[in-house]
Each structure stands twice: as C-alpha cells, then as structure tokens.
Structure 1
Amino acid sequence: MRVLPRATIAALVLSALAATPAHAAPATSCDTPPTQRISQVQGSGEASPLAGQTVRVEGVVTGDFQKSDQLSGFFLQDPKPDSDPKTSEGLFAFARESVKDVKAGDRVLVTGKVTEFNGLTELSPVSAVDVCGTGAVAALPYKLPVEESVEDMLLTFPQPLTVTEHYNLGRFGEVTLSEGGRLFQPTDRPGVPAHQGSLLVDDGSTRENPATLPPIVRTGDSATAITGVLGYGFGSYRLEPTRPIDYQKTNPRPDKPAAVGGNVRVASMNTLNWFTTLGSRGASNAEELKRQLAKLVAALKGLDADAVALMEVENNGGASVQALLDALGSGYAAIKHPYPGTDAIQVSIIYKKAVLSPVGEARSSQDAVFSRPPLIQTFRRSGGGQPFTMVVNHFKSKGSCPSSGPDADQGDGQSCWNPTRVKQAQAVLGLLADLPNPLVLGDLNAYGEEDPIHTLEQGGLASLTKRFVPAPQRYSFLFDGLAGELDHALAGHQLSKRVTGATIWHINSDEPRILDYNTEYNPPALYQPDAFRASDHDPLLIGLNLPGR
C-alpha cells in the first residue's frame, strides 16, 4: 500500500475544508432589517400613508413611558433624518414593559401595525421589540408653534416660556406655556392676535389626581430649555418632558395690594359662590365651608377696604353675608339688598362703620333685563363731606349658550349673551342720572374691549383700571389659558377727578385651583388659610380722595 507524504495529506485536508460551504452564524432578531424608515411611516400629511399596514422600523428610544399609569409605550426616533422637512423622524410605540422593557438610549427595531389613535400616528399593536444596542438623538431646538412635522420627536425650547394656564395641574399634571409672556384675550385689549402659540406640557401619566405633582406654579412664572417628546392627545399637541423642568418664579405672590392712596378705599370681589347652604354651589361639607370662609376673610382683611362690592353671594336672605360679617369682626356692616331677585346668587355691599355712613336708602332695579339686580348705595365719610355712590353689578355670564338667536355665540370673540349684557349696561346708565358721583363696580362678564364696556364708556363712565393699571397687570380672570379683565370699576366724570389710584390684587387668577378650599381632589398639605386662591377672580381696589366738610 502506497502511503502519501504527510505534507500532501495536510494539503488535501485544507483543500477539502475550503471547498466545504461554511455554516452561517445563527440568525438573531436584530438581523431582521426594517421594512420602512420612520419618516416613511409618518409621511408628509396629518395621517400616515401606511395606516393599517404592519411595518418594522428602527430608531433610538427618546422617551420611556411604558408603565400602565403612564402612556403605556415609548417614543423612538431615527437618528439620521431624511431630506424632507415635512416628515417627522419620531414615532410612538404602544408597548408596555410586558412586551419589552426599554430605556432612553436603546437602539430598537420595532414591528407593529400603523395606527392613527386620537390624532397620533403610532404602532399599535406591537408584535416585537428588539433591543439591538445603544444610540443617541440630539434634541431639536424648536420655537412655537409646534407642527405635525415634529410629532413624536425629541425637542428642546431654548427660549423662555411663560406659564399661561394651570387649570389641570393638579387633576392631570398639565401646564400650558407660551412664548413672549402670558397670553391675553383678544377682546380684552387692542393688538392681541386671534391665534397665539402655546404648548401644553404633560406629565407622561394617564392617572387623574396623581400623587406626584409637577411644580406648583403661578401663571406668569417661566422656564427655559424645556426638553421632551411631542405627543398628541385630547385635541392638542402635548410635550412629555424627558428631564425635570426648572421653573423660575418670575411672577411672585403679591403679599398685599399695591398702594392706591386716598382717604377712602373701595374694593370689588367675586367670591366664587360663597354659600352657607352646604352641597349647593359652594362648599360641599362643613370642613370646606370653614376653609372657604378662612380664605375669603384673609382676602378681605388684606384688601382692608372701607367698602366692598361682593358678587356670587348666596341669595338666602342675608345669611351668607352675615356669616362673613361675623368672621370679619364687629367693624363691618352690610347693606340690605332691597330687591335681590330670584337668582341663586346676589350682589352685596359691606362697609366699615367707623369710616363710612350710608346716605339714604339702598336702591335697586326691577328691570327684567337684570337676572341679578344691581345694588345701589350712596355713602359719605363718617365726618361728612362729598358723597359717592356704589353701583354694584353682576352681568349675565358667558356660559349656558343658546344655540340660536341674537344671544347665541356670534363668533366675534364676545361669546354668548353679549346683546343681553349690552342691554344691562344700557339699563345701568339709565340708573345713574340722579346719583351723586357714581362708581360702577362688579363682574361684568365682558372683557375690556367688548360691547358692554364700550357702552358704559360711551355713556360717560371712565375705566379706572385702564387709567391706573399697566397693561401687563390689567387682568382679573383666566380662561382657557387667556388672561383678561372681567371685573371692572368705572367712575363718572366728577368722581374720576377724585380717584387717586386703582389696582388689581393678583391673588386668585394666577394661582392653580389645586390650592383652593376644596377637599375632594386637593392634597391636604397644600391648603393654607390665606388669601391665595380664595376665588377664581382677582379683587379690585380703588382709592378716592373725598373732601370733608
């Protein structure tokens, strides 16, 4: 038998191995490539061109909100944008931790069905989430307003943004921010654009009344370098922060109203349903009643006015007014309303007995145009001298709108019941003819440049807040993120000469409602028996210099 040389055998073995196909490495889930880029899923329009199709996309996790009391998913973004500025590079995957637990910075491949859910393009259901390394996405510097092209993307807002709404801060962890300062009602002052940019900042949670709250802020506070992913839900874009927001207290609480001078101080305050009847419009129980009363008394003592016009007091034969007097002490008395009407609420006047004396009987009007009849009382300083007359009003509100007719919302920004408020203003003017030095006060439910206010001004009355309060501070109410002045003080020509100052004490509209007297939603530790959030309207304070004898 012939034996081959050892070197020849080795060469033959190597040759055979080279000719044998190599076994491929075992395939992994990360080897399954994406079928589309995220930008292709998003498309350039409001809805995805691939809606209803199952796709596989690749990206880096930018925001992790997978817990069941959060958004039940995460945001991912392509770190290499395409060339079309109209397409978003981000996407939301509706995938809880049970599908795959991810964290920010993970590079993932996600398989799921393209769905439009309440205006948001997302993958739902998700059938696979594969973590295939790490990556990084830089937050895109951005300016308001936000647009569809950055939906689901990681954004940062380097410019200062101002808190302009906090109604749902306690209930849903939401705060609304604006660029260039707080936003105002377009019908409150000239030059306000009809559409103003704002950004709703959410807390990434679906829980109502969350145990962990965002910072308690006032409207007018501000923040810079806010960073998060831009989602959409409940009819608006909402930024889900990916790092804590550092708010600056650029609108600190005013411990006392600004000085108004004069020798007589007159205030006007909407009490937000001061009812001693429990379970009606105001307090639900005895504890809430006690808390509400403490806050109202703190506000009244802080105003330290010689006469106060009150709105939204229970129409119950004077019992609610008397409860206020009892809590304030013996220094105040009340004017009995001769015709409070049949509405559940009425207007009232309280005054310091040592400073002012009523002149003549209180008057009102039985004109059917008034659902809450005005209260009219002339006063003079207790030592005698020039009299003045308080004309206290609470005009028809902007709510409970009719669906048709002249009082329906006409789309002009003045909401519904505007013709009725104009008629009420005209009726008030008709009451002034024989009144010495009238001062028209109250919640007129009309902003500064609306028809009812123009009607009173054209009738010879002058707005004292427009005269004395700087425009940035001239607001008393906050609605839907827009500030404006619903509460007014207007004086006749002669009395205007005696006005030494006017101010709006911002203790209510700037404060979130989670700080009010209610107990059902508000954490107990937040309540304080102080003037802040005693109501939802800010009180006004007027200074008069009335000569004596």
Structure 2
Amino acid sequence: MPSKSSARLAALTVAAVCSAASTVALTAPAHADTVRIHDIQGSTRTSAYAGQKVTDVPGIVTGVRTYGSSRGFWIQDPNPDDDPATSEGVFVFTSSTPKVAVGDSVTVTGTVSEYVPGGTSSGNQSLTEITKPVITTVSTGNTVPAATLIDARSVPSRYTPAGDTAANGSINGLTLQPKKYALDYYESLEGMNVRVANTRVVTGTDPYTELWVTVKPHENPTRRGGTLYGSYDDQNTGRLQIQSLGATADFPVANVGDTLTGTTAGPMDYNQYGGYTLVANEIGALKSGGLQRETTRKQSRSELAVATYNVENLDPADDTFAQHASAIVNNLKSPDIVSLEEIQDNNGAKDDGTVAADVTVTKLIDAIVAAGGPRYDWRGIDPVNDQDGGEPGGNIRQVFLFNPERVSFTDRAGGDSTTAVGVTKVHGKARLTASPGRIAPADSAWDNSRKPLAAEFVFHGRTVFVIGNHLNSKGGDQGLTAAYQPPARSSETQRHAQATLVNAFVKDILHVQKNAEVVTLGDMNDFEFSGTTKILEDDGALWSAIKSLPRSERYTYDYQGNQQVLDQILISPSIRRGRGFDYDSVHINSEFHDQISDHDPQVLRFRP
C-alpha cells in the first residue's frame, strides 16, 4: 500500500505558497452586500470563483489550525441558504499562525483557490480555500454554528457517482447529490462544523496522530470490530478519518473495536491521506473494546505449517527483533517454514552498496531461540544493489526460515540474483534447476521490485515447492475519494505482469508433475478478489486459501478504515483437494496502535 513518509507532516493539507494574513479590528459591522460562503462553495466540487478575489466574506470562526504548513482557520456562515448541496463553511489559509479565535465573527477578503492535496498528479479532489486573506474581526465570543450530525441515517449507502466520461472520469463538475451519494454528502459539508457520536474505531491510532471511525456500525463488520473491504463495488460509506486541532499528547490511543463515546466535533477537512477528515476540537472519551492479539494453534506432527510474514523493513538497528520473535514463537506457534518479506540488508537504509542480510536474519533467528523457539536455518538470495525497490539503500528481499528438526531444504547450486530458475523433469518428478532460485529476474515486470524466491523443501519424504513473493506495491494508485471515479489503479499494470510470470512458473511445475504440491505465498499487495489474484489462480494452477475463511475474517491489513487482504497463501490443486488444509490469518498487528508491522502474518497447515 502507499507508504507514509516524514514529508507527510509538512503537507497534511496545504502547500505554503500564500502570503501571511493580516487582521484588522473594527467596531462597525462588515459590508452586507458581499459574496457568501455558499456562493463560493457552489453545488459542485470546484468553485465558480476559483482564481477570483472575493471581498468581505462573513463567517464565524469554527476552528483554528496553528501547526504545520497548513495553518489557517475555518469560518461558517450562520445564515445558510436552503440548498443542501452548498457548503456553508470554508478554510482560510493564512500560512502563519492565525490571530483569530473560535467564536470570532470575521469578514475575509482574499482569493478563492482550489488546492489539490498531493498535487494534481495524485488524482485527489481539491479543497476550496480563501488564500492571501485580509481578515476583519467584527466581534468576539459569538455562538459557533451548530455542528451537523453525521450518522448512519444521514450518510447515503451509495458511495459515489461515476465520473463524467467527457472529463476523463472526473466528478468535479457534477452537481452534488448529497442525499444519494456518500462522497457528495461529505463534500457538501466541506469546511463546515460537523460531529459524530459514539463511533467505533475501525483503524487504530497511527504515528501521524489520526484514526478512523465508522458512523455505520452494521456496515460490513468484522468479528473483531473493523469494517471489511470485500469488493470494488461495495465501498464502506461510513468511514471517516479523525484528526485533532489539539495537543498530540491528548489524542486517543485506540485499537480497532474501541469506541469514541460522546461527541467528536470539528471542521470537515479534505487531505491527501484519506480524503474527508473531521479535524476535531472536541474528541469523545475512549472506551476500550478489549481487543487481544490472536494466537494460532500448533501444527500436528503430520502437518506442515507454512507462514508468510511481512516484517516491515527489518534491519539490525531495529528494536523489534524480540517482538517479532515472540510473535513467531508464541502467536504463530513456530511454523515449519516462514517466508519473510522486507528483510533489509546488514546496514538498513544506508546506501553504500551493502546487499548481504546475514546479520539481519541471524539476529532474528537468535531472538527466536531466546523466545523459546527452534533454531531456524535460512536461505535467501542477495539482490543486485538498489534494484528491488523499497526503502532506498535497504535492499529488501524475501527470506525463507525453516526448522531443520521438522523439514529439510533441498540445496541445489546455481541460484543467484540474475539467473532465472527453471523446472526440469527427473525420474518423472518436477525439480527446480536451482534451489533457492529467482523467477525471471531479468524480466521488466520486476523492475524496481522484489523478485520471487523459489525453493524445494522435503517434509516426511515429500517434496513441497515454496515460492516467496512481494509483488509491486499500490503506490501511485488514486485514492478511494479521488476526483476520478472509479479511481485509477495504475500499479496493477506491473503487478499483473508479475502475477502472470508467477502463474506461468507454477504451471511449468504442474506440467511436469500434475500432483506437485506448490505453495505460493507472500505480500501480494492485492485483494483476494482482485485481477492480480485471478491471474495468479489462472487455469486452476493456484487458489487463494484465505477464501476458505468466513468472509468476516478475510483480512491481513487495515488501511483507511478498510480491513482488507494484501497477504496471501495460494495453493496448488493437490493441496486444495488432498488430505485437508487449515488456514489462519493471525491478527497481531494491523488492528493495533502499537503494531510492529502493518501486516498480519498468515499460516497454512496441511498434510503433504
């Protein structure tokens, strides 16, 4: 999924390009014959006044932002019109700390601007603002316009209209229908004072001091308190991001399933990282839902347990080794084979040509032993420096851990970072030309992306082929609240090409040996219903085993209030139709504010 960087804090909502505001105190009332806020906002997403100067726009200050590069304040007209499509609030961008307070009655003269958080290339909607303002304070201590309640009844069940084909799929020029579409409803409240009440947390507090709630508690609920993302055509309309205008230290530290009791209220904003956001100057009290980390069962003597776990840029300088080790030993019950994603090289993000990761892996293995687990052995292939994407200098790759007391590794020389592994036939059985080996590493599908790691293992005398993957991320895709509907998923092009290569390689194995047992697993960076998964499964070569779970348990990741599948374990027909398998998505990270990775590990148990 799109990664968040430190640059985010400098660009939460507005690029600082405007002049500082000036404040003038008057005793006479403001000029009455002026443009009102609802005129500026209009009944579409973009203002008819964009680029024009407006004079003496009246409003009551409802919120003040004093931090970051998006400093400014919100005003709302206490005398609304009768059109539900026209917002009565607007953000005034000052660039410096505003000299107004909540409850001030002001008039604002400035230029109307349509600011696109993240830039126009992001595809995001724009935020209507007044920039380069001259502010006149008319009076202080006024009653703030009552906050509009957002709840299950007010938010439509339909998510968004389709974009205008004549405008490349943009919804910007369409007249808002706030009683029909959720995104239109939220847009009609842009800049206004809004509130929610007794809302359930559906994405825990993150390092950027934000969380997500739902105002629709019965909308695609998961059994642990989240909201499931199960289809491109079934968006969760009740999701809303919560940020705060107050001190960071006062922001609730929440997990999925907790509740913000009482009222949470403040201006409705739109930002780059999630779209519509309630920027709270009043936050409800946090009530714990008591969520606990899951533990899977131990595999039986006759079961082979294979797991995938994205350990999120693990390098020797990290302080999470003991926690990851405890998770593998205690929560995953020491699987026989663990495919790890995002193992970094021995000096992490330092970009000095280092590609070896033996220090990183050995430190994790030692921590597993210290946690009471087995002394795993491991195999991997060092990538070509700076060719596999991820954090610059980190050289992330997949690595196999395996318990030599339970399973043996078939070492076969010839595998390196640039040589493609193949499939041959020996005594009627499929055999890899190298173990471990990489699948088609020179193919352009893997440009700036991790190459799959293929290997042979033997359990109770039977060969099992395991392919560890970390497909191209969703970075660059348009967000769900984009100005273009449906949003473009540009990252799919490369991911589909990668899935095609992996599927073809599995078919090569199955062509030689129809009953070969193949496990293809890892961070697929795509949903179980996605085109990527359909390509991986093509012609029945593989099947995503997470689909064996009840629908409400099919998630490995929690993003912007949506619990979704990114990590998968796909199995060949002989495993699916064999002596039975058992699948578990072990929820230890994605739902928690103190996660050690943003992914939940997955475990498959079967009898080869």
Specify if TM > 0.5. yes
Does 2:93 align with 1:55? Answer: no
2:453 aligned partner: 374
Question: What are the residue-to-residue correspondences of 1:168-317 with 2, within 5 Å?
Answer: 169-171=206-208, 173-178=209-214, 179=216, 180=219, 181=221, 189-190=230-231, 192-193=233-234, 198-204=239-245, 211-212=248-249, 214-219=251-256, 221-223=258-260, 225-234=263-272, 236-250=275-289, 252-254=291-293, 256-259=294-297, 262-263=300-301, 264=303, 265-276=305-316, 288-289=317-318, 291-302=319-330, 303-304=332-333, 305-313=335-343, 314=345, 316=356
> CA shift at 1:213, angstroms?
5.7
- What amino acid is the match of 2:540? G
2:360 aligned partner: 320
List gaps (5 residues or longer) in structure 2: 1-25, 116-126, 156-181, 346-354, 389-394, 413-433, 478-486
Question: What are the residue-to-residue correspondences of 1:90-101 with 2, within 5 Å?
Answer: 90-93=89-92, 101=100
Rounded Cα–Cα distance in structure 1 between residues aligned with 2:69 and 2:188: 24
Question: What are the residue-to-residue correspondences of 1:496-507 with 2, within 5 Å?
Answer: 496=576, 497-507=578-588
List gaps (5 residues or longer) in structure 1: 1-27, 277-287, 403-408, 516-531
Match of 1:508 among 560, 575, 589: 589
> CA shift at 1:431, angstroms?
2.8
Corresponding residue SS for 2:137: strand
Match of 2:522 among 426, 442, 449: 442
Identify the range of structure 1 (112-121 vs 500-509) with the bigger mean alpha-carbon deviation.
112-121
> CA shift at 1:476, angstroms?
2.0
> CA shift at 1:141, angstroms?
2.0
Identify the range of structure 1 (74-83 vs 419-428) with the bigger mean alpha-carbon deviation.
74-83
Structural RMSD (CA): 4.0
State the Cα deviation string for residues 28-55 of structure 1 (Å, max 9, x = none): 8144553334434544443154964453
Corresponding residue SS for 1:510: coil
Corresponding residue SS for 2:249: coil
State the Cα deviation string for residues 119-178 of structure 1 (Å, max 9, x = none): 323374234202166335322223343444322211123474543476xx423x333445
> CA shift at 1:540, angstroms?
0.9
Identify the range of structure 1 (301-310 vs 128-137) with the bigger mean alpha-carbon deviation.
128-137
Corresponding residue SS for 1:310: strand
User: Is the 2:337–2:400 contact (alpha carbons within 8 Å) kept by the matching residues of 1?
Assistant: yes
State the Cα deviation string for residues 297-348 of structure 1 (Å, max 9, x = none): 12222212233222333462744333322222283231445x6664544433
Match of 1:428 among 506, 517, 523: 506
Does 2:435 align with 1:363? Answer: yes
Rounded Cα–Cα distance in structure 2 between residues aligned with 1:57 and 1:401: 38
Rounded Cα–Cα distance in structure 2 between residues aligned with 1:480 and 1:66: 23
State the Cα deviation string for residues 56-89 of structure 1 (Å, max 9, x = none): 35444433x1646696444333333222323322
Corresponding residue SS for 1:201: strand
Does 2:400 align with 1:349? Answer: yes
- What amino acid is the match of 2:457? T
1:77 aligned partner: 76
> CA shift at 1:416, angstroms?
2.8
The aligned length equals 462
Question: What are the residue-to-residue correspondences of 1:356-505 with 2, within 5 Å?
Answer: 356-358=407-409, 363-365=435-437, 367-369=439-441, 372-380=451-459, 385=460, 387=462, 389-398=464-473, 411=489, 414-432=492-510, 433-434=512-513, 437-457=517-537, 458-467=539-548, 469-478=549-558, 482-496=562-576, 497-505=578-586
Rounded Cα–Cα distance in structure 2 between residues aligned with 1:92 and 1:443: 40
> CA shift at 1:228, angstroms?
1.6
Rounded Cα–Cα distance in structure 2 between residues aligned with 1:490 and 1:298: 26
Corresponding residue SS for 1:466: helix
Rounded Cα–Cα distance in structure 2 between residues aligned with 1:138 and 1:419: 53
2:196 aligned partner: 157
1:23 aligned partner: none
Rounded Cα–Cα distance in structure 1 between residues aligned with 2:272 and 2:366: 46
Does 2:598 align with 1:536? Answer: yes
